[in-house]
Structure 1
Amino acid sequence: MPFSKPIRTAVNKFKNYFQKPRTRPVEHVRLNTDKIAKVLVIGETGSGKSTVINYLTNYFNEGDLNNLRVAIPSQYHPEPTEEFEWNERNVADNTQSQTDDCHQYIFVDRRTNKQYLFLDSPGLGDTRGSKQDSINMDKIITAVESLGALTTVIIVVNGSVCREHLVLRNVVARLQGHLPNAVMKQVIVILTNAKRHEATFDLKLLHLHGIVYPYYMQNAAFCSDPNEWDESTMEALEIDWNQSMEEIAIIVEKIDSFQATSVEEFTKVKEIRNQIKALMHTVRLQITEIQRMQDEIAMFEEALKQANEGIVTFNNYSTHRTVEKIEIVDAPYHSTLCQNCNHVCHDQCQLDETSIVGAQIFKRCQAMDSSGNCTQCRHQCPYTAHYHAKAT
């Protein structure tokens, strides 16, 4: 189906954009993303996820070994050649995720005029631990929800490693709980650093329940210093490069065969899930109160038993006991509450209303310090443990 005039104009603008000399700051190209293929790219730190994005950039923007297109800076290619917004950390450190936020890379296939949006995500399982992984997963889910729809998920795995990827398994489990089944039933897995006959990684270790489409890429072009390439190295790289470009062409063709699935309904389910969490928090407070009352009753029963043994001594004995009670009551305004400490951390919080536990917006709450930890909680709970409710 031909593109409408606004889309065609945007596509032409996008094409001309890359022919201009590179300047900063980055100018954002606005395309009609309603009918665009939207793909989430995830992977562990060091799996080669950013390199896959660079290979995609060369495929769509017609780069080659003598004229490499760089969307994401790397150790041997520290300067980008393309006008994408990027936020890479220390490109020489392979132990930490180079990408700390989700970024969109929009390409137009010059052969078909089709548009593709690849959502690059923070690497998982780096040296900063599970807390950082949880923060990154929240960023990924929020970014996917903002797309409105998703065509498929690409999981990038180091194909030369045969160990079990527990972090990726946890990620897959969380995605299955937040994304439509139609998306998770057709997942693309790209195994890097390996050819088809060399890969040692067992796809069953990912515990994917749907159809898995594996592809293989030997991405050495971005992993070595071009200044050290001799003639024999160049010949070997050329073979690997051509095979990788052919593999990407097959991947793009497979993406074209998928239908985009709306994530709006799952966003609503997420909101309901967090409302249930808030309700469970209230119930937990009530259970805590009941347990305290039971402990008090047990104490008085023991005192009564002792009193009966000396009824003459305690003939006119009576006492009053004040029982502390934690109670959160309804209010006409929103406050920030901690689900761990059972109390209101910021009464009458002025942030935008959200029922999502641990939403990014809580980092800006007055109760949080610069690290995102609560100054009102006894254990300085992270912002991810907080939520909004009309209570005080």
Structure 2
Amino acid sequence: LPPRRSSLIQEGPPKRYRLHTERKDLDGNGKVRKWTYGEKDASKPNKTVLLVGETGAGKTTLINTMVNYILGVKFEEEKWYEITEEAAGDQSESQTSEITMYEVFSMKSPMSLIIIDTPGYGDTRGLDKDLEVAENLSALFQSKDGVCEVDAVCFVIQAAKNRLSDRQHYIISSILSLFGKDIVNNIVFLITHSDGLPPQNVLSGIKKARIPCRQDKNDQPVYFLFNNRQTEGRHTKERHIRAQRDAWEDSMDGMKNFFQSLNEMNRRSLELTSDVLIERIQFEASICNLQLRIQEKELKIAEKRQIQEAMMQNKEKIEECKNFTIKVRKTVKLKVPIESKSWKHRKATTCTICQENCHEFDCWWVSDPSKCEVMKKGYCTVCTGKCHHSKHVKENKKYVVRISNVMMEFDSIKKEYEKAQEQSKIYSVLMEHLDKDLKEIEDQKSNLLSEAYNTIKHLSQIALKPDSAFTLQHLDFFIPRVREAGKENWVRELEEMRRKAVADEANKDALSYLKAGLGKLFLPGK
């Protein structure tokens, strides 16, 4: 390649070069970026692949192998080109949290290539960092300079793996939750560190996890094999050189087969995917909002019943028009500073009219409430009043419901209701008012439960993997409350949804990982 297109980073052999790329920030935060090599030729077909893999799976080498294949590099040239920031095998890859979109345009190739590289999973940072991927993918799919179609979603797995770890299950479950139902035939597996033989261990793990994917005529998951030793220094002994050549050829054959398969697959629009992404974000926000509102209603009900009980115990004093004091656990809504170790949970979009949290978690990558994902055509999809975005603020504060033990005088309770025409009827009138309040709050709670049920059901109809670990946690909160409301048909539907999810080892392991890690990021508990 011309010197202006690359820089030598290691003498070799093979000589290693870093490709010069034009770089662009797509989200304003440096979390979604586009690196372009070469000049675009609109006459050539373009292929777009999304790569997902655990840290250490060999994803970096695989990306560079794709690039060298497109550039037409041969073993005899003793050259190796890298488009990635770090060297293959460098553990610094585990510290990245950005999504990078690589565009590769080569005069030697009949096609151009876009590689979407998601962060490596499984390092010591845990779930807190893993959760960023969905938000960043959402930004990429929505950016005018991003992608709107995909040819393949590729899970990168080491050949030696005989089962998928809890974390891999979580990763796959969360990624699949982002895609529409029509993406299944585009999901394939790229097996790294392969010796060229069929990866029976990996195939067994994939089938056991029941991962939706493309299958061959024998109903086996479609996979492609790669050896990850291309960057190793060249040996001098003939048999070692022969082994290295074979490893190179195996990987290039795997790459040839992979790219040929892209012609057979149907390219998928990400329009539905973007819809699922936005709807999942709105779903998570709505469920968190509904949960807080339902909890508030439950506390209000308890407060009213406590007042009723105190009135029954002091009925004579009320009828004699005597004032008295009672102790009440009063419900108070406060706006408090957000305390989170995660920078991306330190701000929330809240409604100043409804006094509600409209987007509490993962609300980090937009600075203006009008651009928040929960807004649709300028109005909030979450808060009770569905208020205009101008009535919202984004700050490091959120609403919480607290219980405060207060001493209340009966006279102050009377003032909350209309004055009875006759003092002798004040007890019965106040009890009627309290009963009316209770009925109204119960109805409001029932409506909130209905809204939550419909939200969960609708999402399950459009998402590829609706019974995700996230949905399971929500079901655990809502099923007992729906049962209490007497909605047996809803309970059966939600329990069936939950039963299928728990039976799925992928979700079961993902949920255990989610709960053991930072499950509190989604819901603060029942």
Tell me the alpha carbon deviations over residues 30-55 of structure 1, each in whole angstroms, 9 at most, x when there is no partner: 53679521110111110011111121
> What is the aligned partner in structure 1 of residue 425 from structure 2?
none
- Structure 1: where are the runs of 5+ without partners? 1-16, 72-83, 358-364, 368-373, 386-392
Aligned partner of residue 69 in structure 2, secondary structure: helix
Alpha-carbon distance between aligned partners in 2 of 1:62 and 1:112, rounded to the nearest angstrom? 7
How far apart are the structure 1 equivalents of 2:352 and 2:192?
A: 54
Whether contact under 8 Å (1:88, 1:100) holds in the other structure is no
Say yes or no: does 1:258 pair with 2:265: yes
Q: Structure 1 stretch 310-319 or stretch 195-204: which is displaced more?
A: 310-319
CA–CA distance in structure 2, aligned partners of residues 291 and 243 of structure 1: 63
Residue among 275, 290, 301 paired with 1:294? 301
SS at match of 1:256: helix
Q: Counterparts of 1:64 and 1:221 in 2: how far apart (Å)?
A: 11
The CA distance in 2 between the partners of 1:109 and 1:207, in whole Å, is 38
Residues 89 and 99 of structure 1 are in contact (CA less than 8 Å); yes or no, is this contact kept in structure 2?
no
**Does the 8 Å CA contact 1:38/1:117 hold for their aligned counterparts?**
yes
- How far does residue 322 in structure 1 lie from its aligned partner after superposition? 9.9
Distance 1:230 1:250, change over 3 A: same
Cα distance in 1 for residues equivalent to 2:68 and 2:273? 34
Deviation, structure 1 residue 179 = 1.7
Q: Which residues of 2 match residues 320-339 of structure 1 at below 5 A?
A: 323-326=330-333, 339=360
Q: Is the 8 A contact 2:105 2:113 kept in 1?
A: yes
**1:42-57 to 2 correspondences below 5 Å:** 42-57=52-67
**Is the aligned partner of 1:116 residue 2:113?**
yes
Match of 2:459 in 1: none
| Per-residue deviation, 1:252 | 0.8
Aligned partners of 1:91 and 1:116: how far apart in 2? 23
Q: In structure 2, what is the Cα distance between the partners aligned to 1:220 and 1:149?
A: 32
Cα displacement (A) at 1:133? 1.0
8 A contact 1:185–1:210 mirrored in 2: yes
> Percent of counterpart pairs with the same letter?
16
Give the aligned partner of residue 72 of structure 2. Answer: 62
Aligned counterpart for 1:209 among listed residues 201, 209, 212: 212
Where is the helix percentage greater, Structure 1 or Structure 2?
2
Question: 1:156 offset after TM fit, Å?
Answer: 0.9
Q: Distance in 2 between matches of 1:18 and 1:194?
A: 33
**Amino acid corresponding to residue 66 of structure 2 in structure 1:** L
In 2: Cα distance, 1:256 partner to 1:90 partner:
29
How many Å apart are 1:251 and its aligned residue? 0.8
Q: CA deviation at 1:375?
A: 7.0
- Cα distance in 1 for partners of 2:212, 2:317 equals 70
Give deviations 1:325-363, integer Å, cap 9, x for gaps: 43975659x9985537xxx99xxx646512259xxxxxx
Question: Are positions 1:317 and 2:317 aligned together?
Answer: no
Question: Does 148-157 or 137-146 show the bigger shift?
Answer: 137-146
Equivalent-residue separation in structure 1 for 2:357 and 2:318 (angstroms): 54
2:47 partner letter:
A
Question: Counterpart of 1:122 in 2: which secondary structure?
Answer: coil
Pair 18,120 (structure 1): closer, same or farther in 2 beyond 3 Å = farther
Cα deviations across residues 259-292 of structure 1 (Å, max 9, x unaligned)?
2211123323433443444444443343233222
Match status 1:132 vs 2:116: no
1:228 shift after superposition: 5.8
Equivalence map 1:1-392=2 (5 Å): 20=4, 22=6, 26-27=21-22, 28=36, 29=38, 31=40, 36-65=46-75, 66-71=77-82, 84=83, 86-88=84-86, 92-93=90-91, 97=94, 99-108=96-105, 113-145=110-142, 146-197=146-197, 199=199, 200-201=201-202, 202=204, 203-211=206-214, 212-222=221-231, 224=232, 226=233, 230-307=237-314, 316-319=322-325, 323-326=330-333, 339=360, 350=368, 353-356=371-374, 367=395, 374=396
Alignment-mate amino acid for residue 204 of structure 1? K
Separation in 1, partners of 2:262, 2:369: 39
Distance in 2 separating the partners of 1:205 and 1:45: 22
2:373 maps to a residue whose letter is S
Q: Secondary structure at the match of 1:127?
A: coil
Deviation at 1:116, TM superposition (A): 1.9
How many residues get paired? 330
The separation in 2 between residues aligned to 1:239 and 1:159, in whole angstroms, is 17
**Structure with the greater alpha carbon radius of gyration:** 2
Higher relative contact order (CA 8 A, sep 6+): 2
Give the CA RMSD over aligned residues.
4.2
**Contact 1:176/1:184 (8 A) holds in 2:** no
Label 1:233 to 1:213 Cα distance change in 2 as closer, same or farther (>3 A).
same
